[in-house]
Structure 1
Amino acid sequence: MKTLLAAALLLGAADWKERAPLPEPRAGSMAGTPGGRYVLAGGSFWKDDVKHWTARVDIFDPARNVWEPGPALPEPRSDAACATLGDTLYIFGGGADGDVTADAYALRGGGWQALPAARLPEARLYPVATVLDGAVYVTGGIARAGDYSTVTNTLWRWTPGGAWETLPALPGPRRTSHAATAFGGKLFVFGGVTSRGGNLENLADAWVYDPAARAWSALPQLPVVRRAWAAAAAGDTILLLGGYTDDFATDVWAFDPRTGATRRAGSLPHPLADIRVSAIGSALYLAGGETAPKIRGHWTLEGRFNPIR
């Protein structure tokens, strides 16, 4: 309880710190923290009521509070799975302008390298990647842009130098735009959106995958339905941030993996969806995101939390 209260106090709206603004506001970017800096790659934005995709990469240095240009992606891309292993940022899948890909790339040595052997088993848009015990786990997503009837429940596992392994599918509704993170040697998945009878339905269910047992277990229902949000381990809790239902959300929720309880834990300074949250030391970082329909955020936010014990 003390840790949960600490998380709630430390991550209330007044405790988020705004850092240098993102040079090009966008959402659906891929992000990670190779080398202790926050890398934001690709994404999309709207101009004159037309959607654009970008290959731009920006790198934020928290110590100096500056954004610097990074090596551009080989092609414009948004909404790919992304994961940091060591000093390398990996991206898998995603798409642009109606195309969906399975391609994989790694940012290392000052540039992007294509990884033909690490291509996803199938093309995916809006999948979510999580790093657990040196491996990348990718869940869900859709197979065709704009066609939510192609929503999936796949779980794939990959380690550098190896091949993708198909693991037991995620139970419950097929989903995309969910939140996922690793905690205590297990993979947690929260909410998202599915398609039922041609209609989109936001989800409030939660699941945990145990790699040792190769099995999923259901968790208690969440207090809110939510999609396009983010999850991050913080102290003894998992924080669930922002997202979208009928409106764009500011609320932050703390999920206790020991009890399955979820409680309100403050707010973001701005409503944000389609964000990527990464940790550097004892701080969370996020930048950009969608703050209203077709409106991208320019904020860079830093939130402090208790390190995982």
Structure 2
Amino acid sequence: MMSRRAFLGGAGVVMLAGCGTASSRAVSPGRYRWSRLAAAGPFRKSYNFPVHVAPGGRFMLLQSEGCWSSRDAVTWERQPLPPSGSNMAYMQTIFHNGATWVLGRHRGDYLDFAIDPAIQRTSDWERWEALGQASGFPQVIFAAAASFAGWMWMIGGHRGGQAVAEVWRSRDGLEWEAMPSPPWSPRTGAKAVVFGGRMLVIGGGALDGPASNDVWSTDDGKTWRRDCAQIAPERPVGFVPQVFDDRLWLVGANRSGSFQSAMLVSQDAKSWQPVSAPWSARGGVATWVNGDRMYLTGGKHSHVERGQTVFVYSNDVWAMSRR
């Protein structure tokens, strides 16, 4: 089920048959280890926010209130960068060409909204550069976004009360080009990641409807192939994809309520293996890679107490490395 809480957390096609959680190249449980770097960061407990690795190796954590930086994920300093004015739950903030880009602003809610196509960028994380109003900017919320092959991409999303199957790209954030219609189903809240020289679109679905459970990839945004028809029987949602140690990790893949593993990992985006982790159950995490470590902070999960749903937010900081 793709709950809205998860967010407020002429194309060619090649079909590849068969995928699942069994693999002859399985990850050994003892191959990696997690270390808790901080029980609580100085930033707000939250979810669905990014951490970008700036040139020079600084970690830039961006929340709606502002920005924090660190070189070791242990000690964090507040940056002078003011809030962008964009709601990260609805719109995309991505890292592209050595800078953080904020793609548009949202007004309203998920049913009745307007998009302001204002494009902002920062490369010093002290001030925002207002680039202008974008032309042809996709009027969607909950889209996937990625930087790939010199372009910024927006994929899928929600418009007019339903999910869409659309792909757009831009080199400068100001001129957007619609790509041929993709062969995959309309989807809201999908995840996009670059892996193995291709751009992947993972999962997504309809708000308050069934979740997609597949993986599609492209090398040009025009021709797509289905790499995996079913990631896992439990149809995990709420995960964040990350590439580490030549593998693709879906971090925080237990937010559907029925899926209990902390992560799913694959070497080819076709066969997936569940992997546990010592941090608490959560989805909508922030994850980033620098050197020989994959980091994690933030996230959200819920449980029921006395008939009431209780939401729990996190700001502890963890790192995973090979043994």
Q: Over alpha carbons, which structure has the higher Rg?
A: 2
1:24 equivalent in alignment to 2:39: no
Report the equivalent of 1:290: 300
Distance in structure 1 (CA, Å) of the matches to 2:105 and 2:184? 23
CA distance in 1, matches of 2:59, 2:180: 32
Q: 1:76 to 1:180 in 2, by over 3 A?
A: closer
2:76 is paired with a residue whose SS is strand
The more displaced of 225-234 and 172-181 is 172-181
Q: How does 1:44-55 map to 2 (within 5 A)?
A: 55=64
Supply the distance in 1 between the matched residues of 2:37 and 2:201 (Cα, whole angstroms). Answer: 28
| 1:68 alignment counterpart | 77
SS of 2:27's partner is helix
Greater RCO, 1 or 2 (C-alpha within 8 Å, sep 6+): 2
Which of the numbers 268, 274, 291 marks the counterpart of 1:257? 268
Q: CA RMSD in A?
A: 2.9
- Specify the alignment match of 1:5 in structure 2: 27
Which residue of 115, 132, 136 maps to 2:131? 115
Give 2:59's match in structure 1, choosing from 23, 38, 41.
38
Alignment of 1:1-309 (within 5 A): 5=27, 9-11=30-32, 15-19=34-38, 21-22=40-41, 23-35=43-55, 36-42=57-63, 55-63=64-72, 65-70=74-79, 71-75=81-85, 77-79=87-89, 80-93=91-104, 95=106, 98=109, 99=113, 101=115, 102-109=117-124, 110-118=126-134, 121-143=137-159, 149-160=161-172, 163-195=175-207, 199-211=208-220, 214-220=222-228, 221-223=230-232, 224-243=234-253, 244-246=255-257, 250-257=261-268, 260-267=270-277, 269-292=279-302, 294-304=311-321
**CA separation of 1:112 and 1:10: change in aligned 2, threshold 3 A:** farther
8 Å Cα contact 1:132-1:185 kept in structure 2: no
Question: What secondary structure sits across from 1:200 in the alignment?
Answer: coil
Describe the SS at the equivalent of 2:319: strand
Name the aligned partner's letter for residue 257 of structure 1. D
Report percent identity of matched pairs. 16
Change (3 A) 1:115 1:143: farther
Alpha carbons 1:30, 1:78 under 8 Å: kept: no
Moved over 6 A (4+): none
Count residues with an aligned counterpart: 282
Matches of 1:192 and 1:161, distance apart in 2: 24
**TM-score of the aligned structures, taking structure 2 as reference length:** 0.75
Separation in structure 1 between the aligned mates of residue 193 and residue 138 of structure 2, nearest angstrom: 22
Deviations 1:162-202 (A, max 9, x none): 6222223343321122222101221112112325xxx5112
CA distance in 1, matches of 2:226, 2:288: 26
Larger relative strand fraction:
1
Aligned amino acid, residue 169 of structure 1: S
Cα deviation for residue 216 of structure 1 reads: 0.8
- Deviation (angstroms), 1:305: 5.3
TM-aligned CA distance change 1:95 to 1:153, over 3 Å: same
SS of residue paired to 1:201: coil
Deviations 1:3-45 (A, max 9, x none): 7526x5444xx52433362321112224322232222223xxx
Q: Which 5+ residue runs of structure 1 have no aligned equivalent?
A: 43-54
CA distance, structure 2, for counterparts of residue 302 and residue 100 of structure 1: 39
State the distance in 1 between where 2:73 and 2:214 align.
40
Structure 2, unmatched stretches of 5+, are: 1-22, 303-309
Deviation per CA, 1:121-164, whole angstroms, max 9, x where unpaired?
123322222222332222122236xxxx3322221222237622
**Which has the larger displacement, 283-292 or 58-67?**
58-67
